[in-house]
Amino acid sequence: MVNIGLTGGIGSGKSTVARLFQKRGAYIIDIDAIAHLVEKPGGMVWNRIVEYFGRKILNKNNIIDREALGEIVFRDSEKLEELNSIVHPAVFDEWRRRLDDIGSKDEDAIIISDIPLLIEVGWHRAVDLVILVYTSPDVQTERIMERNCYSYKEAKDRLRAQMPMDEKIPFADFVINNKGTLEETEAIVDRVWKELPGKGRNAKNQEMKR
């Protein structure tokens, strides 16, 4: 199996590019979906989050209100760290479980995990290859204004809160330039897709420390 981390910035086109790889036969793991799963009532970390932040972060169905939680941790780095220390290990374990599960059934699997914070949390050390979906900040701004109905200022604030995409380039084995049309991106995906088989380096996975 080849274990690939797909990353980028907000609105750079990770989901779009993941779908293009899926069409070509890649298995896709969506790390945000795993985070939602472990945080839902009955999920692995629901209890600990509620214990730490209190029931005020729950909506009426006992579902964790991610907006409310986001508001709290956005202003308080200590609480953000605590939240991450609760959520990340559980997400990491579930991610590994899914990788192992797919790998045990299909040893030639090309698995692409969409992980927005791959580099920020250090999980690039737990994959065989990093693919960066790259766009310029201007294109990113335009696309998230359109997708999320953000004002110019809201879009810029979100970009500013992130690691600049140029700083992610040195970590990438492949950079997919998604500034152009979807057809242009699809042509790059075709080229990269042909390069992926046989690039698994399982030994590297054992070195990962959380």
Q: Which of 2, 3, 6, 11 binds ligand ADP (CB under 6 A)?
A: 11
Candidates 13-21, 46-54, 160-168, 190-198; binding stretch for ligand ADP (CB under 6 A): 13-21
Size of interface with ligand ADP, in residues (CB under 6 A): 14
CB of 209 to ligand ADP, least distance (A): 27
Does 113 contact ligand ADP by CB under 6 A?
no
* Single-letter code of the amino acid located at 50: V
Residues 14-43 that bind ligand ADP (CB under 6 A): 14-16
Output the six-digit token pair for 120: 């920020």
Q: Report d(CA 140, CA 135) in Å as an integer.
A: 6
Helical segments of the chain, H only: 14-23, 31-39, 46-53, 66-75, 77-105, 137-148, 152-160, 182-195, 202-206
Q: Report d(CA 41, CA 39) in Å as an integer.
A: 7
DSSP 8-state assignment for residue 180: S
Does 3 contact ligand ADP by CB under 6 A?
no
Does 143 contact ligand ADP by CB under 6 A?
yes
Encoded one letter per residue, x for contact with ligand ADP by CB under 6 A and - for no contact, window 147-186 reads x------------------------------x--xx--x-
Does 103 contact ligand ADP by CB under 6 A?
no
Does 6 contact ligand ADP by CB under 6 A?
no
Candidates 12-20, 47-55, 56-64, 78-86; binding stretch for ligand ADP (CB under 6 A): 12-20
Output the six-digit token pair for 40: 């839902």
Burial of 23 (0-12, 13-18, 19+ CB in 10 A): exposed
* Single-letter code of the amino acid located at 82: E
Residues at the interface with ligand ADP (CB under 6 A): 8, 10-16, 143, 147, 178, 181-182, 185
